[in-house]
Amino acid sequence: MTTPAPRLQIEPLDGGPRRLHLFSVDVEDYFQVVAFEGVVRREDWDTYPSRVESNTDRLLDLLAAHSVRGTFFTLGWVARKHPGLIRRIVDQGHEVASHGDWHRRVTRMSPQEALEELRNSKAALEDASGQPCFGFRAPSFSIVPGTEWAFDVLLEAGYRYDSSLFPIRRPDYGYPGVPPAPFWIHRPAGSLLELPLATFGVAGMRLPAAGGGYLRQFPDAFVHRAFREAERENRPGMFYVHPWEVDPGQPRIPCSPLTGIRHYRNIHLMLPRMERLLAEFRFSSVAVEFARELGQPVRGAAA
């Protein structure tokens, strides 16, 4: 059992037919990850050879092979540099949402800075995609206890849903106590839909198993368990992956041994592991599965 997080006013979604699981991609380049912030300066991003287009194309091919649509939480920076990639994502029936503009953690910004970051990102993504951008995922899941003001900023910037809360306890991220199922967050200015990252329960705790590093570092069964539990409990599980996680040939950035393991270990296993996940479970995008809650027509629902 989870106890409601005391700082948030939340409300479960109405019941109804079980939804498909949710497939998401955090679209950023290999040199933009938070773990390399101390080595790679943002002002130097342009000097690194970019691989985000070719790596995202691999994920697009994987999804096309399984007839799956996903949600691509993308940096505004990527949309300005690679507008053709954004068009390919939407042309293939996927949703484009925001991963911020310059991959700055919510915990490192003031509310005013976050508002600017979220507005700039939304504008860049909407310009490139020609579609509205309703969703946000914070870099490193950085909406944590104490940064609830981020939901007010999201509403002010015109967002309708968030997928940043990881209902786990970890030193670097996590928002323990919120439910594992989608829920509404009520704020004075309005309500946001929250789609938490996939976890599973064991001995009264919730363990993270949403994909990304968890899919690379642990056996398949670990991540599959979270999606099976979600099905038993009649709720969707939210999966995530980064384009650089399917790129064994990416240039190596000097880092500590621990960061090296987190970033590079088992990258060559990621595509086969995702193939098995997509063969075992059915996935879709937030825009399609939650069109009613987001007040949107289901674009291309018959595709």
User: Contact positions toward Zn ion, by CB under 5 A?
Assistant: 26, 28, 139
Q: For tokens 């539990």, what's the residue? A: 229
The nearest distance, CB 103 to Zn ion, in angstroms, is 6
- Say which DSSP state 171 is in: S
> What contacts 110, CB < 8 A, 6 or more positions away?
none
CB of 275 to Zn ion, least distance (A): 23
Give dist(CA 170, CA 144) in Å, integer.
10
Based on CB atoms, which residue is closest to Zn ion, 28 or 101?
28
Report in angstroms how near the CB of residue 242 gets to Zn ion at its nearest: 7
Q: Which contacts of 246-251 are long-range, i.e. CB under 8 A and separated by 24 or more positions?
A: 246/55, 246/58, 246/59, 246/270, 246/271, 246/274, 247/30, 247/51, 247/54, 247/55, 247/58, 250/30, 250/51, 251/30, 251/48, 251/49
Question: Phi and psi at residue 9, in whole multiples of 5°?
Answer: -95, 110
How far apart, in whole angstroms, are the C-alpha atoms of residue 62 and residue 123?
A: 28
Nearer to Zn ion, 139 or 179 (CB): 139
* Euclidean distance between CA atoms 213 and 245, whole angstroms: 8
For the bound state, the minimum distance from the C-beta of residue 139 to Zn ion, rounded and expressed in Å, comes to 4
State how beta strands 205-208 and 135-136 pair.
Answer: unpaired
Rounded to the nearest whole angstrom, what is the least distance from the CB of residue 137 to Zn ion in the complex?
8
> Which residue lies nearer to Zn ion by CB, 143 or 181?
143
φ and ψ at residue 199, rounded to 5 degrees:
-140, 170
We find the least distance from the C-beta atom of residue 138 to Zn ion, in angstroms, to be 8
Nearer to Zn ion, 78 or 274 (CB): 78
For Zn ion, the closer CB: 35 or 291 = 35
Residue whose CB is less far from Zn ion, 31 or 183: 31
Give least dist CB 30 to Zn ion, A: 11
Please, which residue, 136 or 200, has the CB nearer to Zn ion? 136
Closer CB to Zn ion, residue 237 or residue 243? 243
Q: How far is the CB of 164 from Zn ion (least distance, A)?
A: 11
Tokens at residue 124, please?
A: 């860049």
Q: Answer for the pair 60, 88: CB distance below 8 angstroms, yes or no.
A: yes
Q: How is residue 250 annotated by DSSP?
A: S
Full DSSP string of 200-249? EEETTEEEE-SBHHHHHHS-HHHHHHHHHHHHHTT-PPEEEE-GGGG-TT
